[in-house]
Amino acid sequence: MRDDKTAAETRGLDRKAIAARKAAREATAPGWPEAESRMPETARRRMEEYLLQSEERLRIQYRYIPVPTLTWRRKGDDFIVADYNIAMEELTDGMIGEHLGARASVVFKKRPDILADFRKCYTEKRVVRRETPYRLFTNRKRKHIAFTYAYVPPDLVLVHLDDITPRKEAEEALLQSRRELRRLSARLLAAAEQERKRMARDLHDSIGQHLSAIKFNAESILGLLSEGREEQATRSIRAGIPVIRQTIEEVRRIIMDLRPTILDDLGIIATISWFCREFQQIYGHIQVERKIALAEEDVPAELKIVIYRLLQEGLNNVAKHSGARLVRISLGKDRQAIRLAIADDGRGFDPAARPGRNVRTGGIGLVGMRERTEFSGGRLRIVSAPGRGTRIAAAWPLTPASTPTPTPTPPSPGAGTPTPTPPSPGAGAGPRVQRRG
Ligand SMILES: Nc1ncnc2c1ncn2[C@@H]1O[C@H](COP(=O)(O)OP(=O)(O)O)[C@@H](O)[C@H]1O
Ligand SMILES: [Mg+2]
């Protein structure tokens, strides 16, 4: 005790405080029954005051710490709710008050893991922690809680609840988007593979056959020449020229399918005009109205191919499914976004009832249209109902600086137009929109 006093004095503590402390220590020290009788009356009063103040301070701290805290008191084999703080009231929408005195064995009847934590904390006198999904026993709200149990002698267990629901939700959203990404990249790979198959079939069916015919023709010409039948050989060469021309056209068509060179050479506006003209030529019974209300440089480079693919698929669908007489195409820009719309007056359909995953037979389909739009930072809306026509609207929001920065488009799945039509000499290397039937 002498040591204490010296240490305290060197720390410059107030003499009164030292006295009060000393008195308190003596009073509470076990096995010193005579301490009280030895203590002067004034010292004892001061000590009591000091203890009261310190208890009050603790109580206020408990009440106002921003961590929801619940105090459980040991009762028989069980624990009961003995106290709680303001943060706990807030977490439970004030309903904790109705549960004062509630038993742990009842509250956590279905959570033996939590009951086990109580016991472990109490018997081993140590801090126990657990993160767990938890439905609050007060307002039944579903949460994710990090519990910390602390033993407070002689018979209390203090439980801090940290509501980590937002963090867990963010983690879950992250996982979800990772799963989504994996799913999408698997789909992309599958689509790319599908596309290669289609290309291979295309090359085999058209170019392959044409080249075989040309080779056969060349061989027969050689035969004719070796027999000195020059006139007939000349006729054969002439007859072979249309096949060669068809082959050239077919190659151009395939290249256009892969990526229309006009898009890179002349831009999206010229490509749309050209595509509409071609469409009009093939589907004379469908009137095409076109409204372009922006300049070439308003459209970010990465968006051009996306717009072209949407138009390709949209117009093919109009030709294939709608029975429309009029289709309106508009591409424009306002303060918020670049907008593309394809609207027809055809028979329409129920977008909700549409089978989600039909086997693709060419084009990119509605699903592909949506994916392409979203990949490039936009949104796609399909408005349709039986008998009410169809409107497909894509919008790519502009950034505040009014320069759209869509994410780059992924390697094109379904890079092609639907099933090719047989080459028609003279039709030029137009977009192959599908013929009906
Ligand atoms: N413009 C349209 N008018 C009427 N029905 C349409 C239109 N566009 C799409 N549909 C309907 O939606 C379905 C799915 O279209 P899509 O995904 O492009 O696949 P596909 O063209 O290969 O059938 C079509 O089979 C058709 O029933
Ligand atoms: Mg389609």
Q: Which domains does the chain have, with CATH numbers?
A: 2-63 (no CATH), 66-163 (3.30.450.20), 178-397 (3.30.565.10)
Model-wide pTM > 0.75 = no
Q: How confident is the model at residue 187 (pLDDT cuts 50, 70, 90)?
A: confident
Q: Which ligand is nearest to the CA of 315?
A: 1
Among protein residues, the one with the nearest Cα to ligand 1's atom 19 is 365
pLDDT score, position 172: 92
Split at pLDDT 50, 70, 90, the class of 261 is confident
| Of residues 427 and 136, more confidently modeled | 136
Ligand of minimum distance to the alpha carbon of 322: 1
Cβ of 434 less than 6 Å from ligand 1: no
Identify the band that residue 401 occupies on the pLDDT scale cut at 50, 70 and 90: low
Atom of ligand 1 nearest to the CA of 347: 4
Band of residue 139 on the pLDDT scale cut at 50, 70, 90: confident
pLDDT at 435 over 70: no
Q: Distance from the CA of 312 to the center of ligand 2, in angstroms?
A: 9
Ligand 1 centre distance from Cα of residue 322 (Å): 8
Span 25-36, pLDDT tens digits? 555 555 555 555
Above 80 in pLDDT, residue 253?
no
Looking at residue 103, the DSSP 8-state letter turns out to be B
Q: Pick the residue whose CA is nearest to atom 8 on ligand 1.
A: 317
Q: Please choose from 286, 309, 321 the residue to mutate so as to test ligand 1's pocket, defined by most ligand atoms within 8 A of CB.
A: 321
Task: Give buried/exposed letters for 232-260 (b at 16+ CB in 10 A, else e).
Answer: ebeebeeebeebeebbebbeebbebbeeb
Whether the pLDDT of residue 193 is over 90: the answer is no
Of 166, 163, 173, which is closest to residue 87 (Cα–Cα)?
163
Choose among 26, 112, 231: nearest CA to 18: 26
What gap in Å lies between CA 333 and CA 268, rounded to an integer?
14
For the Cβ of 414 lying below 6 angstroms from any atom of ligand 1, the answer is: no
207, 257 Cβ separation under 8 angstroms: no
Region of 413 (left: φ > 0; alpha: ψ -120 to 50; beta: rest) is beta
Please name the residue ranges forming H helices in 203-345.
209-226, 230-258, 261-266, 268-282, 301-317
Closest CA to 26 of 42, 16, 10, 37: 37
Encode pLDDT of 55-93 as tens digits. Answer: 999 999 999 999 999 999 999 999 999 999 999 999 999
Task: Quote the pLDDT of residue 255.
Answer: 76
Q: Is 344 in the pocket of ligand 1 (CB under 6 A)?
A: yes
> Which tens digits make up the pLDDT trace of 225-248?
999 999 999 999 999 999 999 998
Q: Report the alpha-carbon distance of residue 150 to residue 136 in Å, rounded.
A: 20
List pLDDT tens digits, range 374-396.
989 999 999 999 999 999 999 99
DSSP-derived pairing of the beta strands 326-333 and 156-163: unpaired
- Residue 374 alpha carbon to ligand 2 centre in Å: 18
What per-residue confidence (pLDDT) applies to 122?
94
| Residue 342 binned pLDDT confidence (cut-offs 50, 70, 90) | very high
Per-residue pLDDT, averaged over 400-424, amounts to 44
Measured CA to CA, the distance from residue 209 to residue 44 in angstroms comes to: 113
Give 250 Cα–ligand 1 centroid separation in angstroms.
Answer: 27
Q: Looking at ligand 1, which atom is closest to the CA of residue 344? A: 1
pLDDT reported for residue 31: 52
pLDDT confidence of residue 425 = 36
d(CA 48, CA 246): 108
H or E stretch covering 163: strand 156-163
Band (409; pLDDT cuts 50, 70, 90): very low
Q: And the tokens for 53?
A: 């103040």
Q: What is the pLDDT of residue 336?
A: 94
Query: Does residue 130 have a pLDDT over 80?
Result: yes
Alpha-helical (H) ranges within 259-300 are: 261-266, 268-282
Question: Which residue is associated with the tokens 């469908």?
Answer: 286
Which carries the bigger pLDDT value, residue 263 or residue 17?
A: 263
